[in-house]
Amino acid sequence: MAAVPTVASPWVPRGMALLLAVMATLPLWVASIGLYQYLGVEIAIWMIYGLGFNLLLGYSGLPSFGHGAFFGVGAYAFGLFQAWAFESLLLGMALAAVAAFVAGAVVGCFLSHRRGIYFALMTIAFGQVFWFVAIKWHTVTGGEDGLLNIPRPALELGAASVPLNSNVALFYFVLFVLAVVAVALWRLVHSPFGKVLQAIRQNEERARFVGYNVWLFKWAVFALSAAIAGLAGSLFSMAQQSAYPDVMSLHASGVIVMMTLIGGGFVSFWGPVIGVAVYFLARDVLGAVTETWLLWFGLVFVLAVLFRPEGIAGAWQEYVGSVPSAGRRNRGTEAPASHIER
């Protein structure tokens, strides 16, 4: 595999099928290990969020510290649609994604000529603007309390109507959305668009001089990533049956960055997926032992950034790479396509 320059990738790679299959069995055993069904919903939602976020951070090298804004926009848009228009699952989700896309597109206009630290600072500033608006615009957002009693509309499939009121039903719906997003993004990162994004991360100037409109690519990926965050936000508002400003705070925006980095978003498509799982398991397992779990998790994060910036996925790749096997004999001399693909 590694010897082929650009692997023509299958629609659903083995790792993805395995992940989804394992997750599909989650409701059967999650209670028996002392956890609970809602955790699966949360993890799957944040995996969607993380995969979309890593399109920016890992693939395009654009650090956004205000992505919670778009997650929040999606959550509010979904809630407001149900309250003001009518109850509809798919329309509400579509609207949430569109609203976040538009918000991302507008913000992207101000960001796309920036990079590195300036880009990061601007995303913080815009994130704070959205957060502030959510808190202050009482008549629409409900202020600090947020929107309450957001329904979980049933999934209408022609004649059949599947209620999503139980956490297990909602979990399977979210898992389905996760599968769709994962397949779509897997396609995207192997497409010319995805390759150009990675080229821009590696050398923005050269990308410009070989003829790519770098601004437009950054703008597009920012808006797209925002739309996916909004989609995840709409699911979150259903899960929580409320939408509140907390998810738009700088703290919440930082959490998704942390998850993506710990998991290894810079070296693997699966980085954010791993990071999300590790974060939530740490929260519930460590959290059961000590109230200061976030302190310990934060320390691990600091150590990871210092000694293993490639995250868990990077450590795994290194481990797998150090085990000699027939298929990998050429590793030393033959470069993999671009190591983020594995």
Distance CA 205, CA 208 (A): 5
Residue with tokens 């090298």: 61
Considering only 25, 139, 322, 333, the residue that binds another protein (CB under 8 A) is: 333
Q: Which CB sits closer to another protein, 88 or 338?
A: 338
Nearer to another protein, 30 or 182 (CB): 182
181 binds another protein (CB under 8 A): no
Among 54, 60, 141, 198, binds another protein (CB under 8 A): 198
Name which of 69 and 196 has its Cβ closer to another protein: 196
Element (H, E) at 162: strand 160-162
The verdict on 203 binding another protein (CB under 8 A) reads: yes
In this structure, the number of other CB atoms found within 10 A of the CB of residue 48 comes to: 28
Question: Residue 213, interface with another protein (CB under 8 A)?
Answer: yes
User: CA triplet 154, 156, 159: central angle to 5 degrees?
Assistant: 130
Which of 34, 158, 192, 324 binds another protein (CB under 8 A)? It is 192
Name the segment binding another protein (CB under 8 A); options: 73-81, 182-190, 273-281, 305-313.
Answer: 182-190
Contact assessment for residue 89 and residue 199, using Cβ atoms and an 8 Å cutoff: no
CA distances from 40 to 26, 36, 236, 281 (A): 7, 8, 12, 10
Q: What's the rounded Cα separation, in Å, for the pair 77 and 186? A: 27
Contact status: 12 vs another protein (CB under 8 A) = no
Q: Is 194 in the site for another protein (CB under 8 A)?
A: yes
Question: CA–CA distance from 34 to each of 37, 284, 286 (Å)?
Answer: 10, 10, 13
Exposure letters 262-298 (e unless 16+ CB within 10 A, then b) = bbbbbbbbbbbbbbbbbbbebeeebeeeeeebbeebe
- Annotate each residue in 215-254 with x if it binds another protein (CB under 8 A) or - if it does not, as one string: --x--x----------------------------------
Note whether 337 binds another protein by CB under 8 A: yes
From candidates 136, 208, 251, 329, binder to another protein by CB under 8 A: 208
CA atoms within 13 A of residue 183's CA, in its CB half-sphere? 10
Q: Is 161 an interacting residue with respect to another protein (CB under 8 A)?
A: no
**Min dist. Cβ of residue 95 to another protein (A):** 22
Residues that bind another protein (CB under 8 A): 3-9, 187-188, 190-196, 198-199, 202-203, 205-214, 217, 220, 333-335, 337-340
